[in-house]
Structure 1
Amino acid sequence: VGNLYNWDDCAKIFCMSARLEGHAKSWYECQTKTFTLWAEWEDELRAAFPVYKGIAVKLKDFVTIERRPNQDLISFYYEKLRMGKHCSLPDQVIADVIIFTINNSLIKASAHAAKCYTTESLLQFLTETNYV
């Protein structure tokens, strides 16, 4: 509606804050800073109330998301470790999936050969080799 009528950011925030209920209204009333940008207000609200993801979606993301082309191996490791922990998976399973989703066959084979069965041993392998 705000875009249709060319509302400025303050008008959008005012209108939407008036429509909040329950926990969202309490969250808004407890804010110590005054929002002047719509994008900032929307980002804060989304961060405070993230979309619910069931375990099936979390598991699917964990198993299918691969390392991006220029992504640092260590940042990829920590991203996948966080995802695995959110799924409450055993350490050995997390390590195996991390290795599986590294899209470099040389690194995968080397990690398997180095017997990286735990997340700690995998992290040690990744930091001690020249793949980083």
Structure 2
Amino acid sequence: MRFTVDRLDHLVITCRDVEITASWYQRVLGMEREEYGRNRRNALKFGGQKVNLRPYGAEGWTTCEDAMPGTQDLCFVTALRSEHIVEHLSECGVTITEGPVHRLGAFGPITSVYCHDPDGNLIEVASYQG
């Protein structure tokens, strides 16, 4: 039998300030915030995925040895066309660092717009529609 994984269930972003980070992802990318567990951890949900927010320096949370804020490079897909992505990010006061540019996504050609979240993580917002 060959071992394969089916999908990504969640990922963890280490952040300096959970409130600021959660608010940005809610406001800019439309994610839903959820508190969970007895330690009242925070997560952001969208589609069938989840992003857990780990406060920098948090104890009792198993992670890589050097989990630092601002070291992620993440791509999120939207049904919006690239010109609408640019318009939305601009309306949210988000500085666009690159794009729209053509890239190759998991399912083929995408058009991407790049920015940074409050911790400095590179955020790519992509569309398969152009």
TM-score, normalized by length of structure 2? 0.24
Name the one with the larger helix percent: 1
Greater relative contact order structure (CA < 8 Å, 6+ sep) = 2
Name the one with the larger strand percent: 2
Q: Which has the larger radius of gyration?
A: 1
